[in-house]
Structure 1
Amino acid sequence: MNHPPAASGGAHGYDDDDYSATELASHWFERPDPQAVPDRVEGDVLRFGPGVTAFVRQHGGGTTATAVWHGTLAGQQAAAPPPRGRRRGLRRYALAALVLALVLGFFAWQRFGPRMAVRDVAVTAPQEGPGCDGTADVVGVVRTDGRPGTLSYRWVRSDGTRSGVLRREVARGQRETRLRLLWTFRGRGEYRADAELRLISPSRHTGTTSFLYRCP
């Protein structure tokens, strides 16, 4: 049987006739370090790597490796607290957020808080009534509790006519609102007139008055 020629050492720097490919491989591959210890311990799984191996070799043991990984080894520096300037900034932001929340809450209370309450309704007219072809000035006075809101109302007259639904805005702090009805008469005769103010919202109230129209 013919054997392949032995590898020549000239090209590789080896002159030993007994040098073989197997021996060449042993020079190129580094055997694992028998002293290697895991640099991380995760449950029952041990992981090897370059992270803290040198430090562990100096201080020994797998327990030290676990301490290094979890950050509990004596001498390790604890996490530094946030800088003082940053803490001040956080406090300023917290104070600003609190003030904003209070302001928004106040406006929400004004907008969606308790509704305006009506205390009473009174209606008046001149007792002597208007003259011939005159106009009676009927005044309704609505007293409220000072909260803002909207009054919805209508006038009803004894001649069978009534107004549509009318509205009047009431400002904050305004406790008295005057509503007017101008009723004009034409011709001769005598007529007992009744005027009624019907408040629809925020609550239902009525007020009435009477006067005499006389034109001889």
Structure 2
Amino acid sequence: MHDGATISGYRLTGRTRISELGTWNDAISPDGVPSGVLRFDPRAVAAPDARERLVSAVSADRRLLLSGLSSLLPVADLVTARGEVWLITSRRAMPTVADLLAGGGGPDSGSAGTILVEIAQALLSLHAAGLTHGALHPGTVVIAEDGSAMLAERGLLAAARGESPPVERDIAAWAALARTLSASWAGGDAARLFDRAAAAASAGGLAYARDTLLAGRDVLPPGFTTRDRLVETLHRWSAADVPTSPAPPAPDPGQIVTLLHADRTGSARTAPPARPAPESDVMMRFGPGVPTEDPENPGNTAERIWRSGQDQMATLHGQKGSRGTPRRGRRRATAWAGTILLAVLIAAGILWLRQSPGLAVAVEKVDVRGPKKTLTCDGTANIVGVVTTNGGEGSIRYVWLRSDGQKLAEQQLRVLSGSTSVELPLHWKVSGESSNFKGTATLRVLSPTTSGKAVQGKASFLYKCQVH
């Protein structure tokens, strides 16, 4: 790994992943805590006022974190140096669900269910605060060391593009995530449960989808809320070969300027070493089936939600046979609730009717670039597939094929409207002796395509290693 470069006191380790906004690096904070650094692609923040919108989005996240919403990847700072923009997080930004899907041999259906219910609750909390994620997909769901799921890049893509994504986009993205995990990490009754939850999200929203999962928990493996299988998968992922790249040039510390602490005149000042944002133990929760804190047995977020849903159902069954309750007040409250629900449904119907469906994404061509220089012993071929689309929105299904016979899992990437080019990386590590090994990587886009058939491109590289 290429260590050494630092940003605002955070040392980059060389372990990387590519996102729609730029390149993420694993990093170590000044206090020695594993962290993350996102180096924005200059093209992503080139639009006028893009930086101001990023500051607004990050500041909103920090306020939510201070109020207790722990399911967001915590942001430590947003800085600029030599014309580039860097986002610093006080926790690691990898692996994501996409990383675990690509690694194969994922966790069980219980782990998938825990991720889905936790992300659904996080989105409900965001929506209750008047915010949306805007770019939810497996690559923006980070799995922490304890197996908890966190939302990454919340609002950043929309801020860079000057968009205001509707709540419906998050709901559709969650449903797509549920179907992806159903196909990859579940089977039988569990897969059918996730598919029902996806349909419930599309029909009635995330609270309905979450409650569908709670009601069907019996088909999931016993004890799944402890996340043991998910943590085992994290350990396997950490021990496996992962993408690495040379660390970017480190800017002069005197050139680093924070964007989050501007003075009253609007001018920025030089940033001190960034520190993690304070975290609170108080959880923000909204909607039915969401528990209050139990100080004697706090558990984890998803476990509390699962347990609360079970307790709520038992309470509802018990109320059916109870006596002596003030029925008049209950009827009055029910009438008010019905009126409010009717108004919400009418408003949602009007909004839905006013919205015209956007252009669906379709892939036009695929180009693949490989290393030009011959790899030497234990080298890694960094291969990039460039997918050209029609600029529409939707999910692209693709798979990388390697000439050495190594089987890689199919993947999905959700793209938003307006983007006509997407980069899909492949990092192929080669080891052992060879005088003329030629590796060929083929990127095959399965759907959707303009022709209706799979589209692919390929690139080759040479590897030589002779030990005397």
* Structure having the larger proportion of residues in strand: 1
TM-score, normalising length: structure 2? 0.23
TM-score, normalising length: structure 1? 0.49
